Amino acid sequence: MTYRELINQVLIRLREETISSNWSGNINDSSTVSDYQKVIGSLVNDTKRTAETYHDWLVLRETVNVSTVAATKNYNLSSGQEFKVLDVTNNSTGNSLSPVTQQYLNSIKYPTDPTGEPNHYGFNGADSSNNLKVDLSPIPTEAQTISFDIVKYQDDLTLAATVLKIPAQPIVLGAWARAIAERGEDGGTQSSAAAAEAMVVLNQAVMRDSGNSKYDTDWYVV
């Protein structure tokens, strides 16, 4: 479902005028979209982010590869800041890297940082584009590929034709509940009922998605 379709589904439930055609550019800069329609667009994005962080959706999963360079400790993940790490693997050896705190990395830094195959990682700073950077320890001594399996949250929806990645129904119902509450006309009764319905639908969507990733927590001996 596109961003415009999501907004219109909420507007229909509110008995408000829908957006008849796609706007150009960012919704907040459009003169063809009313102020109230823009409010609903914001509520859609608020609901989207809540749902995205509620579960590790399969459609949001991706792998970011980092190519190590000998004697280089800090690397750019080029994935922004809105993501969650699921697993980190050295493709050259098959070994997993464990997350550690920056305090731990500092504790082994002096007098000399250890070198060799990385087995730990810790986030440390960001670049000028706000992409998080990561320290590897020990510091690599050769070129290898480190794969970060992450859940990458979709950017806020701004363009009319952008398609929502996660299931649409929980977002529509959740934004509708927020819109009712924002109006403040029902004393909390209708908005509470709508929010409860949205949570039921969200949990059902999570159950369906989890059915395809039910082995994530299983351990195997090879």
Q: Annotate 31-71 with DSSP letters as a single string.
A: SSS-HHHHHHHHHHHHHHHHHHTTS--GGGEEEEEEE--TT
- Residue 222: pLDDT band by 50, 70, 90 thresholds? very low
Q: Do both 99 and 49 map to the same domain?
A: no
Residue with tokens 């589904």: 9
**Is 103 contained in some domain?**
yes
Specify the pTM. 0.89
Indicate the average pLDDT of the chain.
93
220 pLDDT more than 80: no
Tens of pLDDT along 104-113?
A: 999 999 888 9
Tens of pLDDT along 52-87?
A: 999 999 999 999 999 999 999 999 998 888 999 999
Residue 89 is inside which H or E element, if any? Answer: strand 83-90
Work out how many domains the chain is built from and give that number.
Answer: 2
Q: Do both 91 and 134 map to the same domain?
A: yes
41 pLDDT more than 60: yes
Q: Do both 144 and 201 map to the same domain?
A: no
31 pLDDT more than 90: yes
Cβ–Cβ < 8 Å for 22, 4: yes
Tens of pLDDT along 104-147?
A: 999 999 888 999 999 999 999 999 999 999 999 999 999 999 99
**Is 74 contained in some domain?**
yes
- Residue 187: pLDDT band by 50, 70, 90 thresholds? low
- 65 is in which domain, residue-wise? 58-152
Angle between helices 3-13 and 169-183 (to 10 degrees): 50
**Is 68 contained in some domain?**
yes
Q: Do both 20 and 101 map to the same domain?
A: no
Q: Do both 64 and 137 map to the same domain?
A: yes
For 15, counting Cβ atoms within 10 Å of its Cβ (0-12 exposed, 13-18 middle, 19+ buried), the class is: exposed
Q: Do both 99 and 146 map to the same domain?
A: yes
- Residue 188: pLDDT band by 50, 70, 90 thresholds? low
Task: Provide the pLDDT for residue 54.
Answer: 96
